[in-house]
Each structure stands twice: as structure tokens, then as C-alpha cells.
Amino acid sequence: MTRQVKRAFKYRFYPTDEQAAELSRTFGCVRLVYNKALQERTRSWYGEQRRISYAQSSAMLTEWKKTEELAFLNEVSSVPLQQALRHLQAAFTNFFAKRAKYPRFKSRKKSRASAEYTRSAFTWRDGKLTPAKMTEPLDIRWSRPLPDGAEPTTVTVSRDSAGRWFVSLLCQDTPAPAPATTNAVGIDAGITSLVTLSTGEKITNPRHERRDRARLARAQRALSRKAKGSANREKVRRKVARIHARIADRRRDFLHKLTTRLVRENQTVVIEDLTVRSLLKNGRLARAVSDAAWTQLRSMLEYKCAWYGRDLVVIDRFFPSSRLCGACGTVREKLPLNVRTWTCDDCGTTHDRDINAARNILAAGLAAAACGDGVRPQRESSRTRRSSVKQEPQRATAGLPRL
């Protein structure tokens, strides 16, 4: 069954000097409005125990524009400023629902420079996009076409730390369901092998950060020697940012290709609910875990399975996938991370640690799906989160049959 989804299409563009100046001015005004509204809401709560709503923040923005000090806010489009207040409201909603921390102020150097335009603040004509306050359309590099007949409902213009300009077009799309198949696959995430499949295939971790580590270290040392505020420091800072962007782009491209292949080839995909945030607290593994990007891998699998009519099953993180013998069902008491192959004491079967774990994950996922459990669970809360390095206690997942 096909259904419509909101899908963002991101492209790179090259602005003229006038467009770059207008967008930079808009980014600055968006950041100012966000920070000033956050300051007022924080002062009001801690000083008067009074909450400020989005409507009140919008009225405050109108008053700010009337002052001599902030009259320059009238020079940019009002829509990105209103969107900044909506984003702040969403941040507070997530905070009060305990889904996020308290909103933080946006920094000129560290925060993402962006501005969001709704349908009333841009012109879309003959495949050309012209944001408000501009006379010429943006010079966009159309690396892929938009869906037939689709028109953007929201446009987000951004500039990354490397100085590259991007525009993201949010459109309504109807993804075509993937061809029917009965295949199912279990996935065990790792560091040496990024993923090990229940079919026995191991996909090597490209280690994108390690490939550019020496180059990045040289650029960072050069940056540390430059005087703060100098033009040379800004030049080297851009160089460091370009190296980081190169690493992130390669990682994202690899994960997109991998997840698309897994979703196309299998009707059911089973993964573990890993505590990546806890793993990052381990000083020895943090760098490798960050480079593996397991959270990004899972996120891609989630939305691609939803788009193309596949089933994603997530089993409990405490399921002893590595220590469980896939032949007789015996759970080994201990299995250190440096042990990559082991032999079951009961049946004598020799297991490759990762392949055995992937096959156990698949079996547990299929059992959980048949029982109606384990399908796309909610994210962990701070109360249930435990600091561990892929802990695997002896008890099996609640609700899952012992294998």
C-alpha cells in the first residue's frame, strides 16, 4: 500500500555576492531572535515563575522591530524569524516532555547557520527557487530530480562550517513499495566489521575518520599556531572544516548505499537496540564508535523500511546474542570482547562470534515479530539507560522465547 510522506531533497547551490550577503544577514537575525527569545523565556521563568508561549514571543518580536536598536530586523524576511520562534517552542516542548535537555543559546561559530522559509516566503516557478528579499533565483545544482509534480512546501537554506551552501526542499512524495520478497536478515553491528549479516557476510568498516586522521591532525596543529581573529586562522579553520565535511560525506554515502541494499533485498530486518550514548563514555572505544555511526545506520533503516513497506524489528539490548549457542541454546557465562571464536561446552559447536550473534538476532527478531513484540520500540529514557559496553547479561529478552 502506497502512502504519502514528507521527504527532504538537499542540494548544493552557489549564491551571488548579493544573495550571500542577504542570507548571511538573515542567518544572523534568526540567531539573534532565537537567543533573545530564549533569554526572555529563561528570565521570565526563573525570575517570575511565568511561562512565555509562542504567541507571546511573536508579540515580543513585533515590539523588538519597533525599537531603534533592533530596527534592522525589518530588513530581512519575517518568516525565518517566526520559524525560529517555532523551533524554540518545539525545543521547550521536548524539554518539558523529557525528550531533550534545556534549550541552549546559538553560537555564531559553532551553531548551524540556517533559515527556514515557508510557502509564503519563496517563489517556485519553472523549477527555479527564489527566496524572499531576492530578485534572482538560486543557482542550484540539481543532482537528482524532484518527484513528478512535486512542489516544495518548506525551504531551508543553510551554510556549513566549510562555507558550502545548501538548500533543502521539503516535498510530498509517494515512495514506490519495494518488490515483494520473503528474505529476512539479522544484523550485528561491530567495529572491525561494521555489520555482520545472518547470511554469514561481513561488511568491513571503512573507518573514514581513520583514513583522514593524519591529514586532519596536521590541519588542527596548523590551526592552533594561528593568532585568534586573524585571516590566516580563518583560512585554516575552513580547511579543518572541509576535512570534517569530507569524512561525514563519505560516511553518509556509504551508509545510504548499505541500508538501501539491505532494505531492497529483505522483507524483515532485525537489529539490536544498542546504547550508543553509553558506549561513547568508554575512552578506548569512543572514537571508533563515533566513526561507525551506528545511530545514523539505525535511523536510515527505520525510515527506509517505513517508506518501502519493510518490517524493522529491534530486539532488546540485553539479549545475549553473542553468548547464546545457536545450535543448542546454551548461554555461555562470560565472553570477553577479544574472543572472536568460541566453542560451546555442551554441544561442541564452534562459533564465529559475530555470525553467531547475527543469526541469534534474526531468530529472536522473528520470534518477537510473531508475538507482536520488539517492533520499533521507543527510544530509551534516562531512567532506563545503563552505562555499558554492549552488556549482555545471562537473562534473555523479556517476552522472547529461549532459543
State the catalytic residues: 188, 272, 354
Contact 121, 167 (CB under 8 A): no
How far is 265 from 254, CA to CA, in rounded Å? 17
Phi and psi, residue 116, nearest 5°: -110, 130
How far is 64 from 87, CA to CA, in rounded Å? 19
Burial of 280 (0-12, 13-18, 19+ CB in 10 A): middle
What type of residue is 358? A
How far is 204 from 200, CA to CA, in rounded Å? 13
Rounded to a whole number of angstroms, the CA Rg of the chain reads 25
Contact 294, 189 (CB under 8 A): yes
Burial of 157 (0-12, 13-18, 19+ CB in 10 A): buried
Locus of grid cell 514571543: 57
C-alpha 280, offset from chain centre: 16
3-state SS of 231-257 is HHHHHHHHHHHHHHHHHHHHHHHHHHH
Distances (CA, A) of 9 to 130, 144, 371: 16, 9, 37
